[in-house]
Amino acid sequence: MAEYTVTKTLDYKGLACPMPVVKISQQIGTVSVGEVIEVHTTDPGSLADFPAWAKTMGHAIVETKQEPGVIKIFVKRMK
């Protein structure tokens, strides 16, 4: 996996569709281009939705980790 450092960590645990995607869309502009946001979610739909959102918006998912009780998604602002 590509090397990166996390600039910001956001806790979206407990939130259901569509809130995780709505919230990341509001937060992505708070970091600079090239920086990575780490998102913690418990919504299994986010596994499909974050890549779909990133593809549409021109951002990148650099890594996804499934840990017991939490899904960690690393979103890189690309533009």
Partner 1 sequence: MSLNVDKELAELKAKVESASGTGNKLTMIVFSGDLDRQLAAMIIATGAAAMGMQVVLFFTFWGTAALRDPKQRVNGKNLISKMFGFMLPKGRNALKLSQMHMAGMGTAMLKGLMKKKNVASLDQLYEVAAQLAVKIYICEMSMNLMGFKKEEMIQYPNLEVCGVATMLAHAKESALQFFI
Residues that bind partner 1 (CB under 8 A): 14-19, 21-22, 24-26, 53, 56-57
Q: How far apart are CA 26 and CA 3, in angstroms?
A: 25
Phi, psi (5° rounding) for residue 66? -105, 110
Expressed in percent and rounded to 5, the helix, strand and coil fractions of the chain are 30, 35, 35
- Is 20 among the residues known to form the active site? no
User: Cβ closer to partner 1: 4 or 31?
Assistant: 31
Q: Which of 16, 17, 52, 70 is catalytic?
A: 17
Closest approach, Cβ 16 to partner 1, in A, equals 4
User: Which residues are catalytically annotated?
Assistant: 17
